[in-house]
Structures are given as structure tokens and as C-alpha cells.
Amino acid sequence: MTDTVRETSLPALLHRGKVRDVYDLDDALMIVATDRISAFDVIMNEPIPDKGIILTRITEHWLRTLPTCFPHHWRYTVARDQVPRGYEPYVDQLTGRAMIVQKTHVLPVECVVRGYLAGGGWKEYCNDGSVSGIALPAGLQQAQRLDRPMFTPSTKATSGHDEPISFEQACAAASEFARGLGASDAEGRQWMLAARDRSLAIYTEASNAALSRGLILADTKFEFGVRDNELLLVDEVLTPDSSRYWPASEHRLGISPPSFDKQFLRDYLETLDWDKCPPPPTLPETIVQQTAARYTEALTRLVG
């Protein structure tokens, strides 16, 4: 596709996250999905070829095709014939991996939806019989489909891990957020209610679409922002970095099916004598390429 981009250093850098570099365009933001990859909250030294372009293409696909994704903050994806003014010299770095989006005030809550018992939800269920403090029936198995999707919000940690919170705690966080914008507690709660309902609706629509392509959407997370008192879907959407996809043909109760996210990388790192703190270990080229192949397969199966 293009040359690997581990990091960008362009004019008006606003924020550098684990994967994305964000630039302030005055009336908009430019979000650049790099090829960085993190595991256990540590950014690896080796980039994954084309990862940022793949994440951007998948996000754009869902935003274009799922009615429940509207309204959202996306305006356009940078292409050779559509580059923000002043960034023409950097078109090679930006094409296909930079999204121009509306500015919003982002809710301080990760909107997680779980349709299957997996990951951290499965671990909590084994210990406490619940997921995010919500009691579930006894006797459920790993990778089992839940009777109905669960909305399990979490904090948005600036460092370390996000922590599960109750819906009432999420509403309290949204109310405090609203006060900071000069709005009322009631408006903050309404934004959180709307975020919950939209998250569940998007998950349901996306899981049906994914299943038609032979994939199970086990769980995912969304972010929402407020602009002119309207709740907009923001950031990446339904990508392998924010979602757990399984091949439907390999789904079995009682085991964790193979996934198209970075679990492959995590599994490799677990075999090393590494304390999961910086600096990260050096990744062999075979691990880099096999990780890249999983992202490419996700793109092919989801988008075509």
C-alpha cells in the first residue's frame, strides 16, 4: 500500500496516542492512524506494515454503510487529490491513513458492548459470576453467546488499563462532563443514555453484517463526542483494535476462538521473559509479518 509510518511529526501536533497522532486544523482535527502497535499498554518498537491504513479503511467502511453509525464526526479521508491546506508536502504519509473529522467534546467513558462471554468478561464471570458487576446465570461457558448484548462501560484511562464502571457511575461521569461544558447534570445523563442505546444498536447491526461475512463480533467499544448539543460517534469504529472478531466456522463453546486482533502478538509476548514494562522486546520479523497478515485478512473479510 504505502511506506510504513511509525510516527508522524507534522505542524500543529495536538496529541500522540498509542496508535494515532492528532493534529489541530483550527476548524477540524486530522487523526493519523500510524502503524504502531501496543501490547499490555507498551508500544512496540516495530511497526506493523499497513496497519494504520487498514484501520482507517475499516472505520470508513462502517461509517459509510451502517445507518446506526450516523451521526458521526468523519468528514473525509485524506487522498492524493484531497489534502488539508498546508499538508501537501506530507501527502505520502497521510494518504489513506488520515481522517479529517469534526471537533467534539469527547465523553469520558468507553462504551463497551459484549455479545459473547470472552476476555476480561469471562475472567470476571469465572471469579464472581458477573460481568462488570452484572450477575449472569450459572453454568455459562467461555465464548458463549449472551442472551442479549450487554453494555458494560469503562473509564478512559490516560495511562494503564481502563477500569469497568457501572452505568450509574458512567452517568455520574457524563454529568460532571456536562457541567464542564456549561450544561446540566440532566443533559449529561441524557447523553450517556443515548450513548448506551446507540452502542447497542450499532453493535447489533454490525454483528449481523459481520456474520454475513463469516465473522462473529464478540465485543467492541465505541466513543462518542458532543458538538452543538448533538451526540456524534467518534474515533475508530469496529476495527480489530477496538473489537474482537472470531471466524464463525471456528467458534466452539469452552475455548477462546482465534481472533483478528493483536491477541496473536500478546500470545507471543507471553512466551518471553518480559515484565510487560518498557522497554519492549524486539519482535522477530516473522511475528511482525504474521500480525500484519491477520489485520489484512480482517480487512479482506470485512470490506472485501
pLDDT in tens, 207-227: 999 999 999 999 999 999 999
Give the amino acid at 190: Q
Q: Where are the alpha helices (DSSP H) in the chain?
A: 51-65, 91-94, 119-128, 167-180, 185-211, 263-270, 285-302
pLDDT at res. 245 = 96
β pairing state of 215-227 and 109-116: antiparallel
pLDDT of residue 159: 60
Dihedrals phi, psi of 222, to nearest 5 degrees: -125, 160
Question: Vertex 99, ends 236 and 59: CA angle to 5°?
Answer: 35
Residue 284 counted as domain residue: no
Does residue 161 sit in the same domain as residue 122?
yes
What DSSP state is assigned to residue 251?
A: -
243 and 130 in one domain? Answer: yes
Q: Are residues 76 and 3 in the same domain?
A: yes
User: Do 129 and 147 have their domain in common?
Assistant: yes
Instruction: Give the count of domains, the chain.
Output: 2
CATH number assigned to the domain comprising residue 111: 3.30.470.20
Mean pLDDT computed over every residue of the chain: 95
Range of the domain at 36: 1-103
- Quote the pLDDT of residue 261: 82
Burial class, 185, CB count within 10 angstroms (exposed 0-12 / middle 13-18 / buried 19+): middle
CA–CA separation, 241 and 47 (whole Å): 14
Boundary (domain end) residue, out of 57, 80, 103 = 103
**Shared-domain flag, residues 121 and 111:** yes
Residue-wise pLDDT tens digits, 74-120: 999 999 999 999 999 999 999 999 999 999 999 999 999 999 999 99
Same domain? 85 vs 168: no
Bond before 279 cis per omega within 30 degrees? yes
- Amino acid 24 reads D
pLDDT in tens, 21-49: 999 999 999 999 999 999 998 999 999 99
Q: What is the pLDDT of residues 135-193, one digit of tens each?
A: 999 999 999 999 999 999 999 876 667 789 999 999 999 999 999 999 999 999 999 99
Q: How many residues does the chain have?
A: 304
Please give the average per-residue pLDDT across 129-135, as a whole number.
95
Nearest to 295 by CA among 131, 134, 59, 118: 59
For the chain, state the CA radius of gyration: 19
Q: Do 226 and 109 reside in the same domain of the chain?
A: yes
- Please indicate, yes or no, if residue 130 is contained in any of the structural domains: yes
- pLDDT at residue 2 is higher than 70: no
